[in-house]
Structure 1
């Protein structure tokens, strides 16, 4: 399968003969980066915000998932798990809830944490099972900061970690740079790559590996 990052929390997950999944499509006028031009069969949304739920950026008629539940579409199994409140609405005292997603392509389990901002509960951890690829916010703001991200990684023990939701020159949101997360992980530099390709579960590294993706324009 192939995982491509488009900036912020937006990824495209593809596998031959299976549905294509788009996560957290954003409105570039609010977030920055480049305008999204995507096609997909499924769209997952962690919470309602311009940076995470701009569905018109995905062409066609995708199946949109906006909260917890279990779904099977085009051979892909998706489990949405509600977590913490992300932040309060400007005009109300109500917290906007975050949903993380376990996305299963046959034997590969990918977890997208959305805008999670705290360590998950034991029951949430157990509901995920073996995490092969973890897509995790690391830049603070309304999501995890570097220290909390590192703590969650040690808790979930994924095979591959892909950081997201951090500060880059094209991002309009004030977020910490990637270097802060790499330092928390005990790494100096990680060579970026255009996408993450995984042949099968047997090709996964035995020890946790951080993979930094270039965002696609």
Structure 2
């Protein structure tokens, strides 16, 4: 069929075609990939796969969405409340951090499908969520967190991001089981520095080594998944050798009757703490510059 268009309508028709093409390109991601919005807003809008009820139980590199680095919004600093910097453990690799100005942040929140091995999934009101990698036990359900917490996502941490009074930087590394990439997060508040390793024991670059070196606290991977070559005793010693003051383990089996991914129990983790390092058990750890070298066993938050 031939369509005749008079010369006066050509410009209008070309404009319509061009707009349609652009809209189609923006709304349709590449085959086999998930789209990332330019500016993160709600968790589900950036990564539909964060609804981990639809994700595979077994993490795999192929489940990793493509993440295009984009500028993250900034949360303004809050009036300083002069409170302590505290760390509480939720389960798996998930920690709840409260900074002196009242800024709150949660790391690697898991969904409710993992309540059995780790305890109730987190649903706190927070200013920001950090996710080290796109595996289902490190991502929340799409509607798990209310409001509009900032998202700190792997592959999108090319520049430091300000969350209240906290400067957050990310460093690429490799997943401990060779299952894709992993982001090491470093949180700085004044002269205090906390590093979250995610699911890796590999600090890949000189920049990452410098960032983790002399940290006040490292939230250290202590799992058994993928640990065929590196054991906890070696991991812990390597971090202490970097001048780290405090190690707090994560990604182990919280329930000895429900072993997760062959992960050790806390008793097995503690057996690998280097000799001479004091072990302290508590339900909330307060970070200060006066903190001495030690290993912290954090009991999970009771909810």
Q: TM-score range by the shorter chain?
A: 0.7 to 0.9
Task: Please say if 1:84 is aligned against 2:84.
Answer: no
Name the structure 2 match of 1:159: 245
Q: Which structure is higher in strand share? A: 1
Q: Secondary structure at the match of 2:298?
A: coil
Name the structure 2 match of 1:179: 267
Residues 1:126 and 1:35: Cα distance change in structure 2 (over 3 Å): closer
Structure 2 length-normalised TM: 0.61
Show CA shifts across 1:79-127 (max 9, x none).
0000114446xxxxxx421000010122110000000143544442123
Is the contact between residue 182 and residue 189 of structure 1 (CA under 8 Å) also seen in structure 2?
no
Query: Which segments of 5 or more consecutive residues in structure 1 lack a partner in the other structure?
Result: 89-94
Task: Please say if 1:193 is aligned against 2:277.
Answer: no
Name the structure 2 match of 1:209: 294
The CA deviation at 1:29 is: 1.1
Is the contact between residue 173 and residue 182 of structure 2 (CA under 8 Å) also seen in structure 1?
yes
**Whose relative contact order is higher, 1 or 2, with alpha carbons under 8 Å and at least 6 apart?**
1
Q: Secondary structure at the match of 2:120?
A: coil
Name the structure 1 match of 2:133: 47
Aligned mate of 2:161, from 71, 74, 85: 71
The CA deviation at 1:192 is: 2.1
Query: Which segments of 5 or more consecutive residues in structure 2 lack a partner in the other structure?
Result: 1-84
Which protein is bigger by CA-based radius of gyration? 2
Q: Which structure is higher in helix share? A: 2
Is the contact between residue 173 and residue 203 of structure 2 (CA under 8 Å) also seen in structure 1?
no
C-alpha RMSD of matched pairs (Å): 2.5
